[in-house]
């Protein structure tokens, strides 16, 4: 039997105690697609509404009029749902376990404390002139203040836009300008793997860029006490302002469709897009999926290893778990520090029951052999989860056997920044697992596969993954550019949401995500547009032209392979390769570091001047035999040169 055919059936014991078993999944799924209005009206009751919605679903995927509204006459506040409503029953329960980069640093924050500190911060935001509808940028380490900042914004109706702390000043500036953000919340430095990252310096640099004058204030958490510059009148210490505020802050009554947050992500073309997520549908969906997909049971400790800079951190570190009154663990550091055993040691230290991580982290550990887990027992674990990229069956089995002691179901959760929450995933008490498959759709989700003309494929098939109808967690628009939203997601195939992913459906109806079919790279689970990297490179004086493609990478899933055509008269050299690598890291961030740079005297282009990426991808993957038809190229001989000089790995 090949790895791909291996099935791990649901254990009877697990199913007996799970929220959802096979029968229940079938019944609820059927209800959700037969009667979405009735199903979601019922599910929305898990949220505390100020005014309960009477209108449930009002959505159109018609490309002339894409309009998505859920619970549109309901009002609520997301922060009271994550905080206030838990105070009576679980005020003293730990809401956030924070584990610092240094293994000796940890703290527990109860729901009562989280509530009080969030209210203080919310009052501080008001004192800084922030109100309903204003956009606040968060550029923060993985510290509890990041969750507080998100919730404090939600409390007063401000819209947060979290920018991953690994992004460069330019990337930060671009997002501040794009969202018209009046305030940045940051820290002096973040600490990861024993190293300091100069967040405040990066903010200072970002705020010298044109257009960033919109940002009037910078609120700074003192994390390390490292040396930073200070701009009087603009910069405010968090502890100076927040500590003196009242811990009472009434929550703003928000419409279900008022924006909760913006989150930038990469697409195949142009600058990153700020996806707009709204309040009622998002919160309902994040909390429902968190409870059922991780089978979260009251009192359990749940750990998602993502960063709050990504959507996974939004939905499955902050909003989903806290709306459910869970204990959510937030880890500041990296899994390899101080040793590769750290992840298992954290599980033991805090008796983690549910561990949600990424294939790239699993593969990195796996490369060190089974003994990397010798320093921990991990017998508290009950459910494992994977997200961000396809998980190869070998990594799945290793995760299952070594980390999970062959004792925990794995939920391979497929979703996107745009989807707000998980769309395709096992429910651990309901699905037999096939390593590498995200299995079946969540309630209310209607996946379909289409060919390149948009014809729907039935049964066993391989095609482009689309979703036929709306679900409550879906992004409503691109901030300030609804046309781009329609163009990007609803125009390739009419009347459906196009995910950008390729997918196969097997004989059991299980979905196997095969990866992006557009020019988006997924490097260690981080989404990046090839166009963004290319435009960074061509801004360098030595670069005439650049083409970026992904190639299979053992640990990262995909690596970044760059073909560079130099400006006339510039000599290729290793020093120049280093310089270009630094250039991209500085321009976008270390996550965009090129793995391979190949000098390309010419790029394969059609007669109309379009670069044939298909060929470049093949060469980068060392698959030079199956290049297909190159006769339409303007100059087929460039291909021979590229093959001859390709980087052999």
Per-residue x/- track, 399-418, ligand WTA (CB under 6 A): -------------xxxxxx-
**Cβ-proximal residues to 643 (8 Å cutoff; 6+ apart), any chain:** 619, 624
Query: What SS3 state is found at 548?
Result: strand
Residue 475 makes contact with ligand WTA by CB under 6 A: no
**What residues does 523 pair with on adjacent strands?**
526
CB of 310 to ligand WTA, least distance (A): 6
Residue 516 makes contact with ligand WTA by CB under 6 A: yes
Stretch that binds ligand WTA, among 189-197, 288-296, 387-395, 623-631 (CB under 6 A): 387-395
CB of 72 to ligand WTA, least distance (A): 26
Nearer to ligand WTA, 182 or 527 (CB): 527
Instruction: Identify whether the C-beta of residue 167 lies closer than 8 Å to the C-beta of residue 203.
Output: no
Phi and psi at residue 98, to the nearest 5°: -105, 125
Residue 387 makes contact with ligand WTA by CB under 6 A: yes
Instruction: Identify whether the C-beta of residue 330 lies closer than 8 Å to the C-beta of residue 145.
Output: no
Site residues for ligand WTA, 291-310, by CB under 6 A, read: 310
Stretch that binds ligand WTA, among 90-98, 115-123, 179-187, 495-503 (CB under 6 A): 495-503
How many chain residues bind ligand WTA (CB under 6 A)?
23
Question: Considering Cα of 387, then 389, then 390, then 392, what sign does the dihedral take?
Answer: negative
- Residue 193 annotated in ligand binding: yes
Q: To 5 degrees, how large is the angle CA 8–CA 10–CA 13?
A: 135
> What distances in angstroms separate CA 86 from CA 90, 113, 260, one per listed residue?
5, 12, 20
Stretch that binds ligand WTA, among 26-34, 77-85, 135-143, 383-391 (CB under 6 A): 383-391
Instruction: Identify whether the C-beta of residue 271 lies closer than 8 Å to the C-beta of residue 532.
Output: yes
Q: To 5 degrees, how large is the angle CA 207–CA 210–CA 213?
A: 55
Query: What SS3 state is found at 597?
Result: strand
SS (H, E, C) 335-369: CCCCCCCHHHHHHHHCCCCEEEECHHHHHHHHCCC
Per-residue x/- track, 523-542, ligand WTA (CB under 6 A): ----x---------------
CB of 470 to ligand WTA, least distance (A): 18
Query: What SS3 state is found at 238?
Result: helix
Site residues for ligand WTA, 422-451, by CB under 6 A, read: 438
Nearer to ligand WTA, 289 or 522 (CB): 522
In this structure, the chain runs to a length of 649
- Residue 538 annotated in ligand binding: yes
Residue 421 makes contact with ligand WTA by CB under 6 A: no
- Residue 413 annotated in ligand binding: yes
- Residue 476 annotated in ligand binding: no
Sheet order of strands, 217-221 included: 235-237, 217-221, 183-187, 135-139, 159-162, 259-265, 273-278, 477-478
- Residue 349 annotated in ligand binding: no
Instruction: Identify whether the C-beta of residue 328 lies closer than 8 Å to the C-beta of residue 321.
Output: yes
Scan for tokens 């105070």, then name that residue.
87
Residue 262 makes contact with ligand WTA by CB under 6 A: no
CB of 139 to ligand WTA, least distance (A): 18
Q: Which of 110, 279, 522, 536 contacts ligand WTA by CB under 6 A?
A: 522
**What residues does 595 pair with on adjacent strands?**
none
Nearer to ligand WTA, 340 or 527 (CB): 527
Nearer to ligand WTA, 342 or 527 (CB): 527
Nearer to ligand WTA, 69 or 516 (CB): 516
| b/e code 632-647 from CB counts within 10 Å (16+ = b) | ebeeeebbeebeeebe
- Residue 412 annotated in ligand binding: yes
- Residue 516 annotated in ligand binding: yes
CB of 164 to ligand WTA, least distance (A): 10
Residue 388 makes contact with ligand WTA by CB under 6 A: yes
Nearer to ligand WTA, 421 or 429 (CB): 421
Cα–Cα distance, 282 to 497 (Å, whole number): 17
Residue nearest to ligand WTA (CB): 417
CB of 312 to ligand WTA, least distance (A): 5
Q: Which of 431, 513, 597, 619 contacts ligand WTA by CB under 6 A?
A: 513
> What distances in angstroms separate CA 472 from CA 37, 79, 159, 419, 531, one per listed residue?
11, 18, 19, 9, 31
- Residue 550 annotated in ligand binding: no
> What distances in angstroms separate CA 84 from CA 111, 298, 614, one per listed residue?
8, 17, 53
Residue 389 makes contact with ligand WTA by CB under 6 A: yes
Nearer to ligand WTA, 373 or 422 (CB): 422
Cα–Cα distance, 405 to 376 (Å, whole number): 11
> What distances in angstroms separate CA 627 from CA 483, 611, 638, one per listed residue?
36, 14, 13
**DSSP tally for the chain: helices H, then strands E:** 21, 31
- Residue 501 annotated in ligand binding: yes
CB of 313 to ligand WTA, least distance (A): 10
Nearer to ligand WTA, 168 or 464 (CB): 464
Scan for tokens 């309960």, then name that residue.
52
Nearer to ligand WTA, 283 or 387 (CB): 387
- Residue 414 annotated in ligand binding: yes
CB of 256 to ligand WTA, least distance (A): 23
**What residues does 202 pair with on adjacent strands?**
none
Token output for 366: 């796996």
- Residue 623 annotated in ligand binding: no
Residue 265 makes contact with ligand WTA by CB under 6 A: yes
Q: Residue 323: is the preceding peptide bond cis (ω within 30°)?
A: no
Cα–Cα distance, 329 to 317 (Å, whole number): 7
Q: Find the radius of gyration of the CA atoms of the chain.
A: 24
- Residue 599 annotated in ligand binding: no
Residue 204 makes contact with ligand WTA by CB under 6 A: no
Stretch that binds ligand WTA, among 16-24, 349-357, 427-435, 497-505 (CB under 6 A): 497-505
Stretch that binds ligand WTA, among 142-150, 382-390, 427-435, 539-547 (CB under 6 A): 382-390
- Residue 581 annotated in ligand binding: no
Cα–Cα distance, 183 to 238 (Å, whole number): 13
Q: Which of 99, 345, 501, 532 contacts ligand WTA by CB under 6 A?
A: 501
Burial (CB count within 10 angstroms: exposed 0-12, middle 13-18, buried 19+), residue 471: buried
Residue 485 makes contact with ligand WTA by CB under 6 A: no
Instruction: Identify whether the C-beta of residue 433 lies closer than 8 Å to the C-beta of residue 414.
Output: no
- Residue 596 annotated in ligand binding: no
CB of 416 to ligand WTA, least distance (A): 4
- Residue 415 annotated in ligand binding: yes
CB of 556 to ligand WTA, least distance (A): 13
Q: What is the maximum alpha-carbon separation in the chain?
A: 73
Residues annotated within a binding site for ATP: 388-390, 412-417, 501, 516, 527
Residues annotated within a binding site: 192-195, 312, 388-390, 412-417, 501, 516, 524, 527, 538, 540, 543, 585
Residues annotated within a binding site for Mg(2+): 538, 540, 543
Residues that bind ligand WTA (CB under 6 A): 265, 310-312, 387-390, 412-417, 438, 499-501, 513, 515-516, 522, 527
Residues annotated within a binding site for CoA: 192-195, 312, 524, 585
């Amino acid at each position: 039997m090949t790895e791909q055919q291996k099935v791990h059936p649901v254990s009877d014991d697990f199913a007996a105690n799970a929220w959802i078993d096979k029968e229940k999944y079938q019944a609820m799924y059927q209800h959700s697609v037969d009667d979405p209005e009735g199903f979601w009206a019922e599910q929305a009751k898990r949220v505390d509404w100020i005014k309960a919605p009477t209108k449930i679903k009002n959505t159109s995927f018609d490309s002339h009029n894409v309009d998505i509204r859920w619970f549109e006459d309901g009002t609520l506040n997301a922060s009271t749902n994550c905080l206030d409503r838990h105070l009576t029953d679980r005020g003293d329960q730990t809401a956030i376990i924070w584990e610092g980069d240094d293994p000796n640093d940890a703290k527990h924050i109860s729901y009562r404390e989280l509530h009080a500190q969030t209210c203080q911060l919310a009052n501080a935001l008001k004192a800084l002139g922030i109100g309903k509808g204003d956009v606040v940028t968060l550029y923060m380490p993985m510290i509890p203040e990041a969750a507080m900042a998100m919730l404090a914004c939600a409390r007063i109706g401000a819209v947060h836009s979290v920018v991953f702390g690994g992004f460069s000043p330019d990337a930060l500036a671009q997002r501040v300008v794009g969202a018209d953000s009046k305030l940045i919340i940051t820290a002096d430095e973040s600490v990861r793997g024993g190293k300091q990252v100069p967040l405040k310096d990066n903010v200072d640099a970002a705020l010298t860029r044109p257009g960033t004058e919109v940002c009037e204030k910078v609120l700074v958490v003192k994390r390390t006490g490292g040396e930073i510059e200070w701009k009087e009148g603009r910069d405010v210490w968090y502890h100076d302002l927040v500590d003196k505020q009242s811990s009472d802050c009434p929550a703003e009554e928000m419409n279900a469709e008022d924006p909760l947050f913006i989150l930038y992500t990469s697409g195949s073309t142009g600058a990153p897009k700020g996806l707009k997520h709204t309040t009622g549908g998002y919160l309902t969906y994040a909390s429902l999926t968190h409870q059922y997909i991780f089978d979260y049971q009251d009192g359990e400790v749940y750990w998602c290893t993502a960063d709050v800079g990504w959507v996974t951190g939004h939905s499955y570190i902050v909003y989903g778990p806290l709306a459910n009154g869970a204990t959510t663990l937030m880890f500041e550091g990296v899994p390899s520090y101080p040793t590769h055993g750290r992840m298992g040691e954290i599980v033991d230290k805090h008796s983690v029951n549910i561990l949600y991580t990424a294939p790239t982290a699993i593969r990195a550990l796996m490369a060190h052999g089974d003994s990397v887990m010798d320093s921990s027992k991990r017998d508290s674990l009950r459910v494992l989860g994977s997200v961000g990229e396809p998980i190869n069956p070998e990594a799945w089995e290793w995760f299952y056997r070594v980390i999970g002691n062959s004792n925990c179901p794995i939920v391979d959760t497929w979703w996107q920044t745009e989807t707000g929450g998980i769309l395709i995933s096992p429910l651990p008490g309901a699905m037999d697992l096939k390593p590498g498959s995200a299995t079946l759709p969540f309630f209310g989700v209607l996946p379909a596969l289409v060919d390149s003309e948009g014809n729907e494929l039935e049964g066993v098939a391989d095609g482009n993954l689309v979703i036929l109808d709306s679900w409550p967690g879906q992004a409503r628009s691109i901030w300030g550019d609804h046309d781009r939203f329609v163009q990007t997601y609803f125009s390739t195939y009419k009347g459906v949401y196009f995910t950008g992913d390729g997918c196969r459906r097997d004989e059991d109806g299980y979905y196997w995500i095969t990866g992006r079919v557009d020019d988006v790279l997924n490097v260690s689970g981080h989404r990046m547009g090839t166009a963004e990297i290319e435009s960074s490179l061509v801004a360098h004086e030595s670069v005439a032209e650049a083409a970026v493609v992904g190639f299979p990478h053992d640990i990262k899933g995909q690596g970044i392979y760059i073909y560079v055509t130099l400006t006339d008269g510039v000599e290729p050299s290793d020093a120049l390769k280093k310089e270009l690598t630094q250039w991209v890291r500085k321009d976008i961030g270390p996550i965009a570091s090129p793995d391979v740079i190949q000098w390309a005297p010419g790029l394969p282009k059609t007669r109309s001047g379009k670069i044939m990426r298909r060929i470049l991808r093949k060469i980068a993957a060392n698959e030079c035999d199956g290049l297909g038809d190159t006769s339409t190229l303007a100059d087929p001989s460039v291909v021979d040169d590229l093959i001859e000089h390709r980087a052999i790995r």
